[in-house]
Structure 1
Amino acid sequence: MRILLIAGGWSSERDVSLSGARGIEKALLTLGHTATRFDPATSMDGLLEAACAHDFAFINLHGSPGEDGLVQAMLDAAGCPYQGSGPAGSFLALNKAVAKQIFVRHGLPTPPWVFLPSHPAPGWQPDLAYPLFVKSNVGGSSLGLSRVDDPSQLPAALDAVFAMGDEAIVEPAVTGVEVTCGVLGDEALPPVLILPESGAGFFDYKAKYTPGAAREICPAPIAPEATEQVMHMAMVAHRALGLAGYSRADFILGPDGELHLLEVNTLPGMTETSLLPQEAAAIGLNFEALIDRLITLGLEAFREKTA
Structure 2
Amino acid sequence: MSRLPHLHVAVLMGGPANEREVSLMSGNGVADALEGLGHRVTLIDLDRDIAVRLTDAAPDVVFNALHGVPGEDGTVQGMMDLMGIAYTHSGMATSVIAIDKELTKQALVPHGIPMPGGRVVKSADLFTADPMPRPYVLKPVNEGSSVGVAIVTEASNCGNPIRPDAEGPWQQFESLLAEPYIRGRELTTAVLGDRALLVTELVPKSGFYDFASKYTEGMTQHVCPAQIPEDIARLCLEYALAAHRRLGCRGVSRSDFRWDDERGEEGLFLLETNTQPGMTPLSLVPEQALACGISYPELVEIIIEDALRHSGRMS
Query: Do both proteins adopt the same fold according to a TM-score greater than 0.5, normalized to the shorter chain?
Result: yes
| Cα distance in 2 for residues equivalent to 1:165 and 1:120 | 12
Question: How many residues get paired?
Answer: 302
Is the CA contact (8 Å cut-off) linking 1:146 and 1:157 kept in structure 2?
Answer: no
| Cα distance in 2 for residues equivalent to 1:81 and 1:94 | 21
CA deviation string 1:188-215 (max 9, x = no partner)? 01111101111xx110112111211110
User: Which amino acid in 2 is paired with 1:269?
Assistant: G
User: Which amino acid in 2 is paired with 1:119?
Assistant: A
| Cα distance in 2 for residues equivalent to 1:250 and 1:239 | 15
| Cα distance in 2 for residues equivalent to 1:264 and 1:121 | 27
- The share of aligned pairs that are identical, in percent, is 37
Is the CA contact (8 Å cut-off) linking 1:190 and 1:219 kept in structure 2?
Answer: yes
Tell me the SS of whatever aligns to 1:41.
Answer: coil
| Cα distance in 2 for residues equivalent to 1:136 and 1:191 | 25
Is the CA contact (8 Å cut-off) linking 1:179 and 1:194 kept in structure 2?
Answer: yes
From 276, 282, 287, the equivalent of 2:285 is: 276
CA deviation string 1:97-150 (max 9, x = no partner)? 111122211111111111136632730321x33111111111112121111103
Q: Which residue of 2 aligns with 1:63?
A: 68
Distance 1:210 1:193, change over 3 A: same
| Cα distance in 2 for residues equivalent to 1:240 and 1:14 | 28
Q: Which residue of 1 aligns with 2:15?
A: 9
Deviates more, 1:253-262 or 1:184-193: 253-262
Aligned pairs for 1:160-179 (under 5 A) are 160-165=168-173, 167-179=175-187
Is the CA contact (8 Å cut-off) linking 1:191 and 1:218 kept in structure 2?
Answer: yes
| Cα distance in 1 for residues equivalent to 2:27 and 2:175 | 28
| Cα distance in 2 for residues equivalent to 1:291 and 1:271 | 12
Tell me the SS of whatever aligns to 2:76.
Answer: helix
- Alignment of 1:115 onto 2:120: yes
User: Which amino acid in 1 is paired with 2:103?
Assistant: V
TM score, norm. by length of structure 1: 0.92
Q: CA-atom RMSD, angstroms?
A: 2.1
Unaligned runs of 5+ in 1: none
| Cα distance in 2 for residues equivalent to 1:108 and 1:157 | 37
Is the CA contact (8 Å cut-off) linking 1:119 and 1:158 kept in structure 2?
Answer: no
Is the CA contact (8 Å cut-off) linking 2:129 and 2:161 kept in structure 1?
Answer: no
From 289, 294, 299, the equivalent of 1:285 is: 294
Q: Which residue of 2 aligns with 1:182?
A: 190
Is the CA contact (8 Å cut-off) linking 1:3 and 1:36 kept in structure 2?
Answer: yes
Is the CA contact (8 Å cut-off) linking 2:9 and 2:62 kept in structure 1?
Answer: yes
CA deviation string 1:140-197 (max 9, x = no partner)? 1212111110362644599732433463111111011000001000000111110111
| Cα distance in 2 for residues equivalent to 1:286 and 1:158 | 45
| Cα distance in 2 for residues equivalent to 1:209 and 1:18 | 12
Q: Which residue of 2 aligns with 1:265?
A: 274
Is the CA contact (8 Å cut-off) linking 1:4 and 1:50 kept in structure 2?
Answer: no
| Cα distance in 2 for residues equivalent to 1:278 and 1:183 | 12
Is the CA contact (8 Å cut-off) linking 2:86 and 2:308 kept in structure 1?
Answer: yes
| Cα distance in 1 for residues equivalent to 2:86 and 2:122 | 34
Is the CA contact (8 Å cut-off) linking 1:138 and 1:167 kept in structure 2?
Answer: no
- Alignment of 1:46 onto 2:52: yes
User: Which amino acid in 2 is paired with 1:144?
Assistant: G
Deviates more, 1:75-84 or 1:180-189: 75-84
Distance 1:94 1:50, change over 3 A: farther
Tell me the SS of whatever aligns to 1:120.
Answer: helix
TM score, norm. by length of structure 2: 0.90
Tell me the SS of whatever aligns to 2:127.
Answer: coil
Q: Which residue of 2 aligns with 1:236?
A: 242
Distance 1:165 1:19, change over 3 A: same
Deviates more, 1:102-111 or 1:170-179: 102-111
Is the CA contact (8 Å cut-off) linking 1:182 and 1:247 kept in structure 2?
Answer: yes
Is the CA contact (8 Å cut-off) linking 1:194 and 1:215 kept in structure 2?
Answer: yes
Distance 1:284 1:291, change over 3 A: same
- Alignment of 1:77 onto 2:47: no
- Alignment of 1:140 onto 2:170: no
Q: Which residue of 2 aligns with 1:204?
A: 210
Is the CA contact (8 Å cut-off) linking 2:34 and 2:40 kept in structure 1?
Answer: yes
